[in-house]
Structure 1
Amino acid sequence: MTLFWIVTVILVLIAGAIFVIPMYKGKEQDDVASRDELNKAFFKDRISELEEENSEGLVVNQDELVSELQQSLLDDVPMQAKQQAVGISPLMVLPSLILLVGICYGMYLSVGSLTKVEAWQETVSRLPDLSKRLMDDQNAEPLSDQEMDDLTLALRTRLHDTPNDATGWLLLGRIGMANRDAETSQGAMLRAYKLDPGNPEIKVGYAQTLMLVGDPNQGDFARQILRSVVQRDPSDVRALSLLAFDAFERNEYQQAVSYWTMMKNVIGENDSRTNMLTRSIERAQARIDKVSTLDVSGGSVTDKVSTVDVPADSVMVNVMLDPTVLLPAQGFLILSVHSADGAPMPIAARRMPLSSQFPITVTLDDKDSMIPERKMSSLSEMIVKARIDSDGNVMTKQGDWYGQSDVLSLGTSTIVTINKQYQ
């Protein structure tokens, strides 16, 4: 802001100089020269008239008249020296200068959004502190929504000035994931990946955003990136975790077991995450032997669901199909958990090959979380959506059938009936 005010002062001084200097200096006037030029013009005109009159025979003694004109011209030659016009008094200029300065700064203060500019500059100055708090996993006071917005603004400002800062783009991508903004997250991570494709942190972050989109082609590329990270550093827990979650979501339970086992070997038996990994391995192993489904024959679906014990950190979803729904020849069933306010970005999701066996019962928990740092169990209330995806791309919805539950609490069950179609 200091530079800005210096520039404004310079501009106002230039404007004042343009306004004052001509007034103070005044305009030079030469009355003597003007009178002399007028006499000469009059003399020449009178000579021309005498010549015309002489040619017409009206003049008797032309030479005498010419002599008289010459004598009159000599008698009227000015003898005074050239004079300079007097400049304007400074007391007359001062009010004009005050008015000029007042108008300039008054207009800026009224329409220049000075308070917003100052708030923006103050936000930019807080970038190091906000970034440190965001990256500090031990921080007891997480960033508020307003602070996240401030951090995004400050970071975008810095990236505008230094567009080749790969770390800055990585941080912006992580903020996008935290805000459930898939477009911002993917764009920022892609920019970081192009700037520094060999950075493991950037590769893992970019792969994670690609997995959030759900496009099979991008998912394959994401897995390729993560495998390259693990190949270079088999102890990269984040890459192993993402590969395990992805394999479990794709029903590749044996691969999930392998990745989780590798993670256990890396972190050791004394790590607090060991118990969670053990449960994940047991769950995947159970899925290998048998995929649990709910048999609704012999009773109403509501009664069956309500009698099933649901773990406190999960939700059980029974997906039913309306008779009017026409299933595509191939596709996927996508279940997603959203916050109770209906935010479009899911907190947890699972995609499974489409089956003609409906209804289907699925239990969703933290293993299905989209981002390990934001688990499904962090929601006390949520909404579950089910969609039949015909082309394997979660970004396209036209023509897909879907259904949505009411708001439910963690540790309960619900029924989602697919009976609507995106137009």
Structure 2
Amino acid sequence: MIIFWILAGGLLVLALVFIVTPLLQSAPQEDLIEQDALNLEVFRQRLKELDADLEAGFLDQDRYAAARHDLERELLYDVDAGQQAPAQKPTPSALSRWLIGAALVILAPISAVLIYLQLGEPRLADPLQVAASAQAAEESGQSGASLEELVTRLEQRLQENPEDIDGWLMLGRTAFATGKTEQGLQAIEKAYGLAPDEVDIKLAYAEALAAASPTKSLEGKPAELIRAVLDEDPTNRIARWLTGMIAFQKEQYASAVDTWEKILAELDPNGQEAANLEGMIAEAQTRMGTPTDSGAQASVEGSVEPSAVESQAPPAAAGDADIQVTVSLDASLADQASPEDTVFVFARAASGPPMPLAVQRLRVSDLPRSIRLDDSMAMTPAMRLSAFDQVVVGARVSKSGDAMPQSGDLFGETGPLTVGKDTQISVAIDQVRP
């Protein structure tokens, strides 16, 4: 189960690659400079994540070194691709082939892992600087460009060219990354309306629909889109992965394992994608043997018709779990926080992936405050409070509001709590991150 959490961190990595790649195809030099700035920012975030993984002990030194090497190589590839890109943008199908070769999954809302980055525990090492890309950004005055500024430019570009499919797709995924679910769904719907037959866009739309639904369910229209992709291309790994997630979401763990093991057999056993998938399989296997799981279940992949996928009910526990949390700031630390500082309140599994199962955002001026964490706040279909027996609830004060924890952040956590039993708890923010 330890490796499983890597998927959570990897989702931001993969999704941001998906966001950045279309922009790398633009011809104008000012666009290439903006792309370099965004590439560098993505690289820094990903490197911080790897450093945090190593510090937390979830990655050994060999795996860390291999992942860092791949990260550096990918950045150089992205920058080089942007500098050498021809004026003619490749077709979406070409983009599809590149993406499928680069990543296994584009399946969950980016917001899930962005929040994980905000709540993660490990201390950070200094990020590696890439001289060439950084210099290009500085010379153009873009080194300090924020994601919001880049999004504003993208929105302006889309006003001038509303037929830019990749632009709408990028805007949608970025909106999800910043928690703007409705805007993200609308943008991806726009891309789908422009190219409803493109495999990439069908899957992105399925993902967006699930991310925007209260239950994060892949049933209904998402299942139809996934099935349509498999009807067209039964070998599509992303669609097959998602059918496994449909089974996982329905607690049909044997079907999920069967589907994912077939994909695993096609991957490099030493690659990161295989490690991610092995973690998901291990997670499903730990849940097998529950009353809802049956060896007689048909495999979702290839044998379950769309109507069957849509007709089955979601897990009975969905939406049932909730915890009332009273958050306070210890008086001894009051002088170290400002009223406008951001406070993240979250629940995560006591053992298993550390990405949050539910999260709320407050300000220090709101404290003390009682809030509710429940299944409606789940970031991914399978990661809900009701899916775990024990959770840890915590709160963190971030002066900068940055995605990654910083030295000096104030925080507090409970011990393991039993879901369904410990329904009213208190969290005191009484520690300082070294």
Query: Looking at both structures, which has the greater relative contact order when contacts are Cα pairs under 8 Å and sequence separation is at least 6?
Result: 2
**Structures share fold, TM-score greater than 0.5:** no
TM-score band, normalised by the shorter chain?
0.3 to 0.5
Q: TM-score, normalised by structure 1?
A: 0.42
